[in-house]
Amino acid sequence: MNKKDIDWSNLGFGYIETEKRFVSNFKGDAWDSGALTTDATIALSECAGVLQYAQTIFEGLKAYTTNDGHIVTFRPDLNAERMEASALRLEMPAFPKDRFIDAVVEVVKANEAFVPPYGSGATLYIRPYMFGSSPVIGVKPAQEYQFRIFCTPVGPYFKGGAKPLKLRVCDLDRAAPHGTGNIKAGLNYAMSLHAIVSAHHEGFDENMYLDAATRTKVEETGGANFLFVTKDNVIVTPKSPTILPSITRRSLMTVAKDYLGLKVEEREVHVSELADFAECGLCGTAAVISPVGMVVDHGKEIKFPSGMAEMGPVTKQLYDTLTGIQMGRLKAPDGWIKVIK
Ligand SMILES: Cc1ncc(COP(=O)(O)O)c(C=O)c1O
């Protein structure tokens, strides 16, 4: 397989059109058999449900080249399950889990020339998504849907090392109690855009969202779950019904317990206890863990002892272990790695 002539280690996190994508349509009461296509565009009714009432959901996962030259994906079954939960919440038809995994494999195989080589730090980002495609003018679910998967090579998240982030406690809410914060719906991201643009404008890297009901508990950022390390090396992650169940965070909790022998706790985390933690990180597919050095709560600076220069030691161990599993350097728990054959 000849790889594309791409400067892998200088890729950013952007869209590069690859050769093939998977498309399946839902009509009547069934998904069609679906197929790969070279057409990267979509023609839609001007009144499509997605355009009028934002009936759209998505997923994000990656394919990696391992140290022995295989191409693998990481826990795609969990992306399929989360997408099913997202679909049901927005009255969309679920795309069957086995077909979701098969389609991921098909798309990666068809774009093998775009899968970055081992050691480049780059990966292939895979984006499954689904949207209401038939016309809808009264507020109701569409009758027809399209499911697609495209992929795009993305660069190493940390160029020149993982620099700790500076967050602010955000005055806008991300998710309402009993709302859609726990699913991956486009609407959750549209409403976060103003908050992130203004955070950047004010010199912050990300927003720390709080629970909308009491504004006393830590939720997540616009695109990652929190993970804290106590001064006694206990791994703590916020428990909330209104955050997205991050696959990376769930995997890191297992890694902490089973590989590193650390105690883990999933519980409510109050803003008032932030100053007690030794380390803080953001976990998600994009970066695995991004270290957080400081949170600013309305002018009050909360600095984690791990500082603004580098990743804290426990965060680094977690990062090294999970990326070791993903890249084939460490033995994975059963079922975590799907080899693309
Ligand atoms: C709001 C939000 N939280 C958390 C995550 C991290 O989830 P995962 O680890 O499954 O990528 C993401 C990214 O998918 C996200 O968009």
Written as tens digits, the pLDDT of the chain (341 aa) is 789 999 998 898 899 999 999 999 999 999 999 999 999 999 999 999 999 999 999 999 999 999 999 999 999 999 999 999 999 999 999 999 999 999 999 999 999 999 999 999 899 999 999 999 999 999 999 999 999 999 999 987 766 668 999 999 999 999 999 999 999 999 999 999 999 999 999 999 999 999 999 999 999 999 999 999 999 999 999 999 999 999 999 999 999 999 999 999 999 999 999 999 999 999 999 889 999 999 999 999 999 999 999 999 999 999 999 999 999 999 999 999 999 98
Q: For residue 286, which atom of ligand 1 is closest to its CA?
A: 11
- In whole angstroms, give the CA distance from residue 43 to residue 68: 41
- Out of 218, 285, 289, 326, mutate this one to test ligand 1's pocket (max ligand atoms within 8 Å of CB): namely 285
Using CA atoms of 7, 10, 16, 21 in order, give the dihedral in degrees to the nearest 10: 70
What's residue 158's pLDDT? 67
- In this structure, the residue with its CA closest to atom 3 of ligand 1 is 224
SS3 of residue 169 by DSSP: strand
Query: Which residues have CB under 6 Å of ligand 1?
Result: 60, 220, 223-225, 244, 246-249, 283-285
> What is the pTM for the complete model shown?
0.97
- In this structure, the residue with its CA closest to atom 16 of ligand 1 is 223
SS3 of residue 193 by DSSP: helix
What's residue 1's pLDDT? 73
- Please choose, from the candidates 146, 186, 152, the residue with its C-alpha nearest in 3D space to the C-alpha of residue 23: 146
- In whole angstroms, give the CA distance from residue 174 to residue 181: 7
